[in-house]
Amino acid sequence: MKKQYIFPCVLILLDLCAAGVCAISRDYKKAVYWIAAAVLNITVTF
């Protein structure tokens, strides 16, 4: 893995973790928001 991808990968992981926490809390709108943020970061990064 290149050094330039470390921060975006950590950010994507944190977005997915936030989505998981929101889903556990039954706040599905925020969970979808965080999943969309992760997908957006994936498309921009890779």
Residue percentage of the chain with pLDDT more than 90: 96
* Model pLDDT, residue 1: 80
Both tokens of residue 41?
A: 């970061």
Give the residue-averaged pLDDT of 28-39: 98
Give the end-to-end CA distance of the chain in Å, rounded to a whole number: 12
In this predicted structure, the answer to whether residue 30 has a pLDDT above a threshold of 90 is: yes
Total number of domains constituting the chain:
1
Range of the domain at 37: 3-45
Residue percentage of the chain with pLDDT more than 70: 100
Distance CA 39, CA 13 (A): 11
Give the residue-averaged pLDDT of 7-18: 98
Angle at 33 between CA 5 and CA 6, to 5 degrees: 10
Distance CA 14, CA 28 (A): 17
